[in-house]
Amino acid sequence: HAVCIFYLVLRALDTIEDDMTISLDVKVPMLHEFHSYLYQPDWKYMESKEKDRQVLEDFPTISMEFRNLSKVYQDVISDICHKMGVGMAEFLEKKVDSQREWDKYCHYVAGLVGIGLSRLFSASELEDPIVGQDTELANSMGLFLQKTNIIRDYLEDQLEGREFWPREVWSRYAKKLSDLAKPENIDMAVQCLNELITNALHHVPDVLTYLSRLKNQSVFNFCAIPQVMAIATLAACYNNKQVFRGVVKIRKGQAVTLMMDATNIQAVKAIMYQYVEEIYQKIPSTDPSSNKTQQIIASIRTMSLPGGPMASRHHYSPIYLSCAMLLAALSWQYLSTISKAAEEYVQAGEN
């Protein structure tokens, strides 16, 4: 219940941030105060134009369920909402310039999700206290997913008027971020893409360490499945011109296989190994980031080798795993933001 309410509360907060029809003088105070709305039984917002506006229109139902949770869960959710709202407001009024600011933005919108979930796992006693206490590893879990989404969603964000690629990186390859979508700039665009993917891969060692600490099978699946989806997505995007022309997605059958396989740490290590090898095979010798890409892949290989320091875990019954995977699918839905509108726009252009 705590995770489901956390999801709905964050979906409401995210809907406010995403709604480009709300003026900044209204939106910024709403983001700052959002955590307090959890304790206001009648608060709702009826003027959103976003597709997920129902969570704002029916917010009294969500906040009532929130207030029915144990105080230990309420405190975690309220605290994360407060920090996230303040961070979202900060980046409404400035663009992501440096790689450090890229990490900071991703922390606000996704790292805090990882930290909040980890605190909930520990508060429930399904996991050891260290899972909730080690905020650096939990933050990396969120950053890996968020950076993957930002990298993959270049074209969608351009169409929506949003920019999340860090200027420090893209300015070495183009005068404007939108220039990367121009056919004449495709070679430089792909080099920029590869540099950002290399940056994201640096979170994988933390991801593997975090997952190795989990003891509860349902929690493990919930956390592991989005991570293996992300590494598969990065492998599909690496050195791929299609990122600047349309939507790059992993195949549905591939996604199902990943969900079925990612049920223990050794399996996840094998999946990570498989996809970083796929990236390694595609590294162009002329790519400016090739050495850095090879170095981080070497580190991931070392951690992913069979018989490493991370303990294996037993498999559970298929019925039990199916229930856990339903939860994992909800997690992936929140952290994955593929836009159908962008895809239709691209297809219309092709036709």
- CA neighbours closer than 13 Å in the CB half-sphere of residue 24: 7
The residue type found at 65 is: E
Catalytic residue of the set 66, 152, 238, 244: 152
Give φ, ψ of 160 to 5 degrees: -90, 0
Catalytic: 210?
no
Start-end of H helices in the chain: 2-18, 24-37, 54-57, 59-68, 71-92, 99-106, 112-123, 129-133, 135-152, 154-160, 167-170, 186-201, 204-213, 217-237, 252-261, 265-281, 290-304, 318-335, 340-350
Catalytic residue of the set 67, 162, 172, 251: 162
Q: DSSP labels for 45-107?
A: -----STTTHHHHTHHHHHHHHHHS-HHHHHHHHHHHHHHHHHHHHHHSS---SHHHHHHHHI
Catalytic: 222?
yes
Taking the C-alpha atoms of residue 221 and residue 261, their distance in angstroms, rounded to an integer, is 10
Catalytic: 220?
no
Report how far apart, in Å, the C-alpha atoms of 152 and of each of 58, 104, 141, 158, 291 are.
32, 19, 17, 12, 22
Taking the C-alpha atoms of residue 43 and residue 316, their distance in angstroms, rounded to an integer, is 43
Taking the C-alpha atoms of residue 342 and residue 251, their distance in angstroms, rounded to an integer, is 18
Catalytic: 162?
yes
Catalytic residue of the set 45, 121, 144, 222: 222
- CA neighbours closer than 13 Å in the CB half-sphere of residue 346: 20
Catalytic residue of the set 105, 154, 273, 275: 105
Active site (catalytic) residues:
105, 152, 162, 222
